[in-house]
């Protein structure tokens, strides 16, 4: 029964993408309109970002400039940041539904009390301690596997967070393998999961669609409407994005990478349609780089990561 529902949902997403793809192709040459007049899709019940960051520190003061700076740096990596001045606030947030994974930053002064309280929560992926005196925490932190480090500044934590989030998305990717011989057999193709076949159709439609500047405006409006990407990053994207910079933006430490991967992984039609221009640009740039570099390998297979 659940497999049938999954197939039906996938088919519905495919039909939505097919219809929108047809409309996008027909409307490419239409005159531009203001962002306010764009047909912004309404927020979904779920968010593209399925993880949150909790910052726990008794000295947090949002009116303080240093605190504002730290918060800005964190939101460039994780858009959903919750602030707590007491350990019980953090515990309450982590026990709420709505996120698949959580990361916690705690001050050194609260860490020894907080860590035993939250360490066993399944959704908690990592704990980062910020302290000017790393030596004080080196011994006791070894007993807690989710503590990923003691850091003296926010830059170090942001870098560690980026790696942890990247690993989280890699672990979440479902993979299927099929041999070349199996691909050539019609009988075996009939036995493939419907989601695999639909994704092939998705790819053909998306890569054939044409997009103009309105596609970028629709994407940025969607992000602002759904709070999917930090305002700083989305403003910068709107001003600086070009097709030749697609890979740069895909690898840039923002939620754009996470948003696209989530949409593809869950076959979220809204996200896939909204980011169709970006997906196509990334594909074309990878293809271009491949054609430029393949001659250096003598047309022999080479590893990519």
Maximum Cα–Cα distance across the chain:
66
**At 145, phi and psi to the nearest 5?**
-70, -25
CATH code reported for the domain at 51-172: 3.40.50.2300
Percent of the chain with pLDDT over 70: 73
pLDDT digits (tens, 9 = 90+) for 41-80: 344 444 445 788 999 999 999 899 999 999 988 888 887 8
Cα→Cα distances 174→76, 163, 188, Å: 27, 19, 20
- 305 compared with 111, residue with greater pLDDT: 111
Query: Among positive and negative, which fits the CA dihedral 37, 42, 48, 53?
Result: positive
- Whole-number pLDDT of residue 36: 36
pLDDT digits (tens, 9 = 90+) for 151-173: 999 999 999 988 888 788 777 66
d(CA 257, CA 252): 8
Residue 237 pLDDT > 70: yes
Domain with CATH 3.40.50.2300 in the chain: 51-172
d(CA 279, CA 206): 8
User: Is the Cβ–Cβ distance between 233 and 10 less than 8 Å?
Assistant: no
| SS3 label, residue 107 | strand
Half-sphere exposure of 211 (CA within 13 A, CB side): 25
The DSSP annotation for 139-192 comes to TGGGG-TTEEEEESSHHHHHHHHHHHHHHHHHHH-------HHHHH-HHHHTTS
pTM: 0.59
Residue 38: CB atoms within 10 A of its CB come to 17
């Amino acid at each position: 029964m659940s497999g049938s529902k999954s197939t039906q949902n996938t088919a519905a997403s495919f039909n939505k993408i097919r219809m929108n793809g047809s409309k996008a192709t027909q409307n490419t040459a239409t005159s531009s309109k203001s962002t306010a007049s764009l047909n912004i899709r309404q927020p979904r019940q779920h968010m593209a970002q399925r993880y949150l960051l909790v910052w726990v520190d008794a000295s947090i003061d949002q009116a303080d400039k240093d605190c504002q700076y730290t918060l800005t740096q964190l939101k460039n990596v994780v858009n959903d940041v919750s602030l707590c001045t007491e350990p019980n606030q953090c515990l309450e947030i982590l026990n709420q539904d709505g996120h698949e994974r959580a990361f916690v930053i705690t001050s050194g002064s609260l860490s020894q009390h907080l860590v035993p309280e939250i360490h066993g929560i399944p959704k908690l992926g990592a704990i980062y301690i910020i302290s000017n005196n790393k030596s004080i925490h080196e011994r006791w932190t070894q007993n807690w596997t989710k503590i990923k480090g003691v850091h003296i500044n926010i830059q170090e934590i942001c870098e560690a967070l980026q790696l942890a989030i990247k690993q989280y998305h890699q672990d979440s990717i479902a993979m299927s393998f099929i041999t070349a011989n199996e691909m050539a057999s019609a009988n075996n193709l009939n036995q493939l999961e419907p989601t695999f076949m639909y994704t092939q159709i998705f790819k053909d439609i998306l890569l054939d669609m044409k997009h103009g500047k309105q596609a970028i405006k629709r994407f940025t409006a969607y992000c602002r409407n759904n709070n999917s990407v930090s305002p700083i990053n989305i403003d910068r994207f709107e001003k600086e994005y070009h097709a030749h910079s697609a890979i740069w933006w895909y690898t840039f430490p923002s939620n754009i990478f996470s948003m696209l991967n989530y949409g593809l992984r869950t076959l979220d039609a809204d996200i896939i349609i909204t980011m169709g221009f970006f997906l196509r640009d990334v594909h074309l740039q990878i293809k271009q780089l491949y054609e430029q570099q393949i001659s250096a390998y003598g047309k022999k297979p080479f590893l990519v990561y």
